[in-house]
């Protein structure tokens, strides 16, 4: 068989959990789904099974809407919560505000009302900075809140914190969306079930991350409160997120959620991040900057050191102005990767002295 690989598989990095390949069990699920013919556009056996698996994980009355990517999941989920005049309150650092190139505004037609936070987390008190002006025709109406779990800064909302936000916004007639690109990592770190962290805590709709959790491609919108969301059946097609061969997205999520694969992946990447955090915190010149609990590590180090280490292990700057960087771990991060990275950091740090 011809080897068509054109990359060097020995190259490792800590830039993003999107850099990793596909978990072998997910590849196996895709291969199994590849035989024979299945009805297109979601009328297949795998998408039907996914609905059952979602109910098993999140409870009766919940529904899954597989989509291509995280931006699509977030935009569609928020659109389904809001009228045309609705606005969404989110943290200033939220992915929907910083990393989606205006898609919520330009594609979704949604006004974002952002709030500065020290740790990426919203609270009822912070939400109230923008939760006002209902009935004022001059103001986009704040009708939903979006929180990210784990946050963009690697911090976590506890179940009680999610519940406090949900109760607060529901009392004001608002709805709660959770961007769960790394929800598996959050649940694993908090040692709670997916249902406890979402539906039981009052979340109305969830963008469930797949790509950062070992999938080849695909995310999944999970409607947790069917009274809060409408039109997803149509919005998904209108926003170019309806997969014709949906079985290949659904089969991946079935493999991820029909058992403990999601948890095993998250526990491993979290444990590798903990190992990395421990290793680099002992290096003179490196300062851990965030109380991250999941699979991310944030730190400050000299810019020249960062640039030299980056030639061996790719990673991103988080804040160019302060020298803060971000290191991410994934399902295939190994102890050898961590140890090699720490050794490279020690070597390059020594060159500055």
User: What CATH code is carried by the domain that includes residue 92?
Assistant: 3.40.640.10
The reply to whether 237 and 325 lie within a common domain is no
- Looking at the fold, whether 191 and 302 belong to one and the same domain comes out as no
Instruction: With respect to residue 134, please indicate whether it lies within any of the assigned structural domains.
Output: yes
pLDDT in tens, the chain (353 residues): 678 889 998 899 999 999 999 999 999 999 999 999 999 999 999 999 999 999 999 999 999 999 999 999 999 999 999 999 999 999 999 999 999 999 999 999 999 999 999 999 999 999 999 999 999 999 999 999 999 999 999 999 999 999 999 999 999 999 999 999 999 999 999 999 999 999 999 999 999 999 999 999 999 999 999 999 999 999 999 999 999 999 999 999 999 999 999 999 999 999 999 999 999 998 999 999 998 889 999 999 999 999 999 999 999 999 988 999 999 999 999 999 999 999 999 999 998 76
Confirm whether 18 is domain-assigned: no
Domain membership of residue 17 (yes or no) is no
Flag whether 153 is in a domain. Answer: yes
87, 136: one domain: yes
Strands, E assignment, the chain:
63-67, 86-91, 111-115, 141-148, 175-180, 205-208, 219-223, 287-288, 296-300, 316-319, 324-328
Give the distance from CA 165 to its chain's centroid.
19
- Which of 257, 290, 312 finishes a domain? 257
CA pair distance 50, 253, nearest whole angstrom: 7
- The CA-based diameter of the chain, rounded to the nearest angstrom, is 67
Q: Is residue 16 part of a domain?
A: no
Whether residue 97 is contained in a domain is answered as yes
Residue 226 in any domain: the answer is yes
243 and 265 part of one domain: no
Domain closes at, from 257, 292, 312: 257
Considering the domain architecture, whether residues 177 and 288 belong to the same structural domain is answered as no
Using alpha carbons, select from 255, 247, 294 the residue that is nearest to residue 23: 255
Beta bridge partners of 146: 177
Same domain, 42 and 77: yes
Are 144 and 280 part of one and the same domain? no
User: Both tokens of residue 132?
Assistant: 């006002």
Shared domain check, 42 and 191 = yes
Q: What angle in degrees, to the nearest 10, is found between the helix axes of 261-281 and 335-350?
A: 20
Q: What's the domain count of the chain?
A: 2
Tokens of 179: 């961007």
**Residue finishing a domain among 236, 257, 278:** 257
Tell me the residue range of the domain where 288 lies: 261-350
Pair (252, 312) in one structural domain: no
Helices of type H across 183-334: 183-190, 194-197, 232-238, 247-257, 261-281, 303-310
Q: Is 87 helix (H, G, I), strand (E, B) or coil?
A: strand
Judge if 220 and 302 occupy the same domain: no
Are 163 and 272 part of one and the same domain? Answer: no
Q: What is the CATH number of the domain that holds 346?
A: 3.90.1150.10
- Report the distance separating Cα 121 and Cα 99, nearest Å: 17
**Does the reported pTM lie above 0.85?**
yes
| Residue 76 and residue 225 in one domain | yes
Instruction: Kindly state whether residue 199 falls inside one of the protein's structural domains.
Output: yes
């Amino acid at each position: 068989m011809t080897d068509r690989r054109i990359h060097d598989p020995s190259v490792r990095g800590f830039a993003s959990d999107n850099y990793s390949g596909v978990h072998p069990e997910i590849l196996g699920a895709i291969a199994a789904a590849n035989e024979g013919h299945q009805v297109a556009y979601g009328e297949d056996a795998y998408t039907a099974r996914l609905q059952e698996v979602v109910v098993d994980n999140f409870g009766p009355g919940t529904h899954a809407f597989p989509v291509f990517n995280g931006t699509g999941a977030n935009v569609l989920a928020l659109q389904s919560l809001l009228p045309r005049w609705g606005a969404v309150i989110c943290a200033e650092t939220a992915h929907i505000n910083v990393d989606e190139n205006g898609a919520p505004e330009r594609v979704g037609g949604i006004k974002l009302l952002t709030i500065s936070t020290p740790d990426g987390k919203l609270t009822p008190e912070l939400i109230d900075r923008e939760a006002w002006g209902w009935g004022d025709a001059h103001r986009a109406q704040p009708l939903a809140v979006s929180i990210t779990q784990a946050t963009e800064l690697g911090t976590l909302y506890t179940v009680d914190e999610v519940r406090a936000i949900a109760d607060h916004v529901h009392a004001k007639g608002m709805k709660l969306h959770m961007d769960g690109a790394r929800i598996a990592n959050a649940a694993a770190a908090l040692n709670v079930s997916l249902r406890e962290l979402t539906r039981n805590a009052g979340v109305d709709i969830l963008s469930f991350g797949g790509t950062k959790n070992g999938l080849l491609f695909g995310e999944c919108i999970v409607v947790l409160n069917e009274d809060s969301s409408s039109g997803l059946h149509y919005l998904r097609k209108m926003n170019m997120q309806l997969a014709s061969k949906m079985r290949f997205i659904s089969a991946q999520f079935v493999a991820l959620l029909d058992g403990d694969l999601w948890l095993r992946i998250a526990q491993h990447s979290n444990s590798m991040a903990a190992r990395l955090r421990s290793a680099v915190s002992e290096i003179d010149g490196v300062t851990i900057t965030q109380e991250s609990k999941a699979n991310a590590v944030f730190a400050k180090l000299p810019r020249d050191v960062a640039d030299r280490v980056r030639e061996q292990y790719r990673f991103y700057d988080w804040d160019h102005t302060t020298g803060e960087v971000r290191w991410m771990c994934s399902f295939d991060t190994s102890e050898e990767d961590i140890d090699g990275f720490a050794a490279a950091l020690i070597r390059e740090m020594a060159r500055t002295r």
